[in-house]
Amino acid sequence: MMTSRTLACGIAYLCMLLPAMAGAACLRDEPGSLWNYEGMLGGKFRVRMSLVFAGPRVEGVYFYASQLQDIRLRGRIEGGTRIVLDELDAAGAVTARFEATFPTRDPGTRYGDSPLECEVIAGTWRRLDGANPLAVYLAAESSTSGSLGQRYAILGVQDDEVVNRGAQDFWRAVKAGDRRAVAARVAYPITVQVGGKRRRLGGPGALLEVYDAVFTPAFRRSIEAAMPRNMFVRDQGVMLGSGQAWFDARGRVVALNN
């Protein structure tokens, strides 16, 4: 239920965005590319969104960091400056709507004062049942080739959920402090930093011996802050967060950048 405090925070957040929300020109026709955005709804709910731009038409998905479940999007770009995205339920019915612009300057902090085109989406999200709107701020985080149905195809992955589940198992194990589960998610041998030196580990037992030196409190926090779904991918693997871990086509950890 929307509280008066939540509504006030959302309105204040939207007012903060408005001065920088003059529309930029976002004109993309790249049906073979995925653009990944991260940001906030209402200044409170962290989300990640993936969009495919095909001229004025846009398809995509987004999820809440707290839920890790895709919600389908379908929409359009109007005049190159405004984006409207309908949120669809499992039956394809519209349940909510994003209405936003592409600001010429970032109202947040990611891009500083650089001129923008499609890099930031700012506006509102509203359920169609009449609930009060929430302010939206999303910043482009990465882009890759692929499709919404097979974003990890460059690795030969047929089912994206195999990688997503592997990443989430690893992420949850790190959060829970389940060392054995973490070690079981790694593909060996793997090279890590131990005491400032690179060390090659041959199996789970070797990782468990140096676990605290690898998974320091700061490294664990950086992993926990990442979103283990619909991640950036290249031919070397799938990247969690800003590169704290990389996964192979089976969702196993093949690199730890501690």
- Banded pLDDT at 94 (limits 50, 70, 90): very high
Looking up tokens 């990442």, which residue turns up?
226
- Give this prediction's pTM: 0.87
In this structure, are residues 88 and 98 in contact, taking their beta carbons and an 8 Å threshold? no
User: Does the structure show a pLDDT above 60 at 254?
Assistant: yes
Q: Report CA 115 to chain centroid distance, whole Å.
A: 23
Outline which parts of the chain fall under CATH 3.10.450: 153-256
* Mean pLDDT, rounded, for 190-211: 96
CATH architecture of 4-145: Beta Barrel (2.40)
Helix (H) or strand (E) holding 136: strand 134-145
Q: How far is the CA of 254 from the CAs of 164, 187, 237, in angstroms?
A: 15, 5, 8
Residues 8-27: pLDDT tens digits?
445 444 444 444 445 567 98
Residues 146-184: pLDDT tens digits?
999 999 999 999 999 999 999 999 999 999 999 999 999
> Which residues make Cβ contacts (< 8 Å) with residue 104, sequence separation at least 6?
20, 22, 23, 24, 115, 116
What's the chain's average pLDDT?
Answer: 91
Residues 73-85: pLDDT tens digits?
999 999 989 999 9
User: Does the structure show a pLDDT above 90 at 200?
Assistant: yes
In three-state secondary structure terms, 45 is: strand
In three-state secondary structure terms, 86 is: strand
In this structure, are residues 242 and 167 in contact, taking their beta carbons and an 8 Å threshold? no
Topology of the domain covering 153-256:
Nuclear Transport Factor 2; Chain: A, (3.10.450)
Would you state the structure tokens that stand for residue 238, as one six-digit string?
């799938």
Outline which parts of the chain fall under CATH 2.40.160: 4-145
